[in-house]
Every structure is written in C-alpha cells, then in structure tokens.
Structure 1
C-alpha cells in the first residue's frame, strides 16, 4: 500500500510542472503586443464582479477576448483590455498569463 502511494505521488510530481507552467513574456514580445493592441483598439471592459483579474485566473466565456495576430510572436495569445491594462490570455484555456500595465 505504501509503495502504491509513493508511486502515485511520484507520478503527480513529474506531471506537476506541466500543470503549473509559467508563461514568460520577453520585453520584445511585450513591445510587439503593445503595438498590436494600440493599432487594433478594442473597447475596454469592466471585469465581472466574481472575477479577479490576476495572472493565473481564468476568464469566463462571457468575457470577449481577441486574438493577437502579430507575426513576431512564438505562440498564439488572446487579449482583453480591462481599464488601462492589457490582459494577455491563453486562447485554449482563457487563463490570464500576463498583464501589461
């Protein structure tokens, strides 16, 4: 029994980094994203009352996100403007991965 618990714990530990993967936005990428958002202006939103806009939060389907269609990026991103902040989101999961103040 003890061996079985250790095997499961070990398997979870190996998979844990994939679940908690951090996305790092390099300064050059942030510049590309800023320029894209500035030229493709979208209406800022008020966040839903039950959603805290912070890295790691998941945006509900009621929040419309827009694709960042810039060729200088190494992956796909979506975004939404909340007040004066650009909130970068993973398109597949709608998880907030970066906030540009």
Structure 2
C-alpha cells in the first residue's frame, strides 16, 4: 500500500513538473514572433507586484494581452512585453508559456 501511494505521488509530481516547463518554440517561430513584436511596437507593461514573470504563472484578467497575428505561426499565442522581454501567453488559460530573452 505504501509503495503504491509513493508511486502515485511520484507520477503526480512528475506530471506537475512537465506542465510547468517551457513550451518549445522553434527558432524560426521565435524569429517571426520577435520581428512581429518589434514591428507592432507594443509598449511594455508593469505587472502587479505579486505577479512573477515565470513559466506557468497565470496573468490577472486586468493584464491586456496582445495577439500574435503572424501568418507564419500556426499556433495561437498572445504576448506581453515586460522588462524588455517578450512573454508568450496561452490566451485560453492566461498562463505564461514561454519567455523570450
């Protein structure tokens, strides 16, 4: 019984870790997104003090997301610019999925 419980907790912990990892963005996609963001000239924003810019963080509803509308990108992303970094966000969950440095 203890072994099964420990194995179950290990599986749950592993799954949680996997969901918190960066989404892999191909270098070509990152280049297209970076060029799009520069072209759009979106002003950087300041997040509330209790919100950390880390993969997996859910952004508050008050944070205005910008859509990536680049024809070369087949996945729907949104983004914000914070402290000189482009932060990709899943628009459905508002979770940070990738931080471009």
Using the size of structure 2 for normalisation, the TM-score is 0.78
Q: How many residues align?
A: 101
TM-score, normalised by the number of residues in structure 1: 0.78
Q: Name the Cα RMSD after superposition.
A: 2.5
Q: Which runs of 5+ in 2 are unaligned?
A: none
Tell me which residue corresponds to 1:92: 92
Moved over 3 A (4+): 18-22
Match of 1:33 in 2: 33
**Deviation digits for residues 53-73 of structure 1 (CA, Å, limit 9, x no counterpart):** 101111011111100001111
Instruction: Rate the CA distance shift 1:62–1:36 in 2: closer, same or farther, 3 A.
Output: same
- Judged with a 3 Å threshold, the aligned counterparts in structure 2 of structure 1 residues 73 and 25 are, in CA distance, closer, same or farther, namely same
5+ residue gaps, structure 1: none
Query: How many angstroms apart in 2 are the aligned matches of 1:21 and 1:47?
Result: 21
Match of 2:70? 70
Q: CA shift at 1:74, angstroms?
A: 2.1
